[in-house]
Structure formats: C-alpha cells, structure tokens
C-alpha cells in the first residue's frame, strides 16, 4: 500500500528536533521526499541522514528572506517540485509584560510570524505555478487563549491564524490550500524545560488528562498535507486533548 503523500516533496522548518522532526519523519514514512530545515546546521543534517528516505538537511534562518527563498529553490532543484510546506520553526522568550525586553518581543514575533509569512510567500509562489499544493502553519492554543508570560508568543501564534486565513483566500483559486494546526501541551524539550509543578498543573487541566506526543501533532499535519483534506483551506485544527474547547 502506498503512503498518503507518496512521491510528493515537502519542506518542514524547525525540523531538527521535537514536533518538526516528528512531522518530517511521518511525511517521509508516508512516501514524501523531505527537506528538513533548521537554524542548527549540524543537527538538521544529522536528522536528514537518519531519516532513511530521500531527504535534505538545510540550514536556514527563517527570518531571512533570501535564506527562505534559497531553501525553496534548492528543494525544487533537488526534488523537482514542492507539494507540501510546513512552517513549524519557533522559539520562546517568556517574561511578564513588565519584565520582557523589546528584543525578546521582536525575536519571537520575527521567528513565528515573519518566518511563517516568508515561508507561505515562497512556497505559494511555486505552488501557484504548479496548480496545487498544501501549506500547513503551526500555531498554538496559546494563540487562542493567551498564556500569562507569553504576550509575544501568544500574539505571534494568533497572528499565524489570521495569516493562514488571508493567504488561503488569496491562493485558493490556484488549488493551493493553506491550513493551520494549534497544538496544546505537547511533550518536547521546550515544554519539559518547564518547572515540573507547572507542567503537572497544565496537564491536569486537560480533559484527556495527559500531554500530547509530537507524533500526534504530525498526524494532523499529515492529514492536512494529503488528499484526505482536499476540500479544506483556511482551517484550524486543534490538537490539544480537549484543552480550551
């Protein structure tokens, strides 16, 4: 039986570890050729080498317009096209409003919002010409409800939803789809750095009473990347165990 994205080409940003690596791995298992993109060149090249299927490891700062354009160009040159683009790269710089430096606000907005916008723009340019494609942007339930100490992150993740819907309207007539996924509390290096009592408190508030795994987010991305979601665009899928429903 062939995979859900057999023979297609995908780019996944922030793919060196965590949710991004899980997404790249599942897309590869389902038959895609994958360009893994990350700021950490050594980590992403190793991740691509470990993947097994056809894969590229590319270093890129997603806030750099020329670098994002280069990644898309190199992927198309290597694999012959671009069918799936996942904007997942992200950082956190948490602090209260009173204590957050402007640099930390700007850094988070730039990586998440500018980075996603640059990715959508570069990928959709290729996909429009091809007459098909699926772009998936990783938002967060923090963008739905807001988290204290995360005015920068929550604003960026809410902005990704607006960007997704606006871009979806612009490219739908070219058969290019743009959707978003909003993960809740997922077990990654980023969340496991939280104080254990805060993590436990957050987990207890989830109706399913557990944190999610990166592969569970990857499953939603695979659905949006594949033909199973062929009549969905501008949608936002929550992957949070019922949190904030």
153 is catalytic: yes
One of 24, 82, 153, 238 is an active-site residue; which one? 153
Contact 80, 74 (CB under 8 A): no
The CA distance from 75 to 55, in Å, is: 10
Contact 60, 37 (CB under 8 A): yes
**Cα of 149 vs its chain's centroid, Å:** 22
DSSP annotation of 3 reads: -
The CA distance from 243 to 147, in Å, is: 13
The CA distance from 172 to 187, in Å, is: 34
The CA distance from 119 to 116, in Å, is: 5
The CA distance from 124 to 233, in Å, is: 13
What are phi and psi for residue 147, nearest 5 degrees? -110, 135
Residues marked active site are found at: 153
């Amino acid at each position: 039986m062939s995979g859900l994205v057999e023979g297609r080409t995908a780019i996944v940003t922030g793919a060196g570890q965590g949710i991004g690596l899980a997404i790249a791995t599942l897309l590869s298992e389902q038959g895609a050729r994958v360009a893994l993109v990350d700021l950490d060149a050594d980590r992403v090249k190793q991740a691509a080498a470990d993947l097994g299927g056809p894969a590229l490891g590319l270093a890129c700062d997603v806030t750099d317009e020329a670098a994002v354009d280069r990644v898309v160009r190199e992927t198309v040159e290597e694999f012959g096209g671009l069918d799936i683009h996942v904007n997942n790269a992200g950082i956190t710089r948490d602090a209260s409003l009173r204590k957050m430096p402007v640099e930390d606000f700007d850094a988070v907005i730039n990586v998440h919002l500018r980075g996603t916008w640059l990715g959508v723009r570069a990928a959709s340019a290729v996909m429009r010409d091809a007459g098909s494609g699926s772009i998936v942007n990783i938002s967060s339930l923090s963008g739905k409800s807001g988290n204290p100490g995360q005015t920068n992150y929550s604003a960026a993740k809410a902005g990704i939803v607006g960007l997704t819907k606006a871009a979806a309207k612009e490219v739908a007539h070219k058969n290019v789809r743009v959707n978003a996924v909003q993960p809740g509390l997922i077990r990654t290096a980023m969340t496991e750095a939280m104080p254990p009592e805060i993590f436990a408190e957050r987990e207890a508030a989830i109706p399913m009473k557990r944190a999610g795994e990166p592969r569970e987010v990857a499953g939603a991305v695979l659905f949006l990347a594949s033909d199973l979601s062929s009549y969905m665009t501008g949608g936002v899928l929550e992957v949070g165990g019922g949190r904030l429903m």
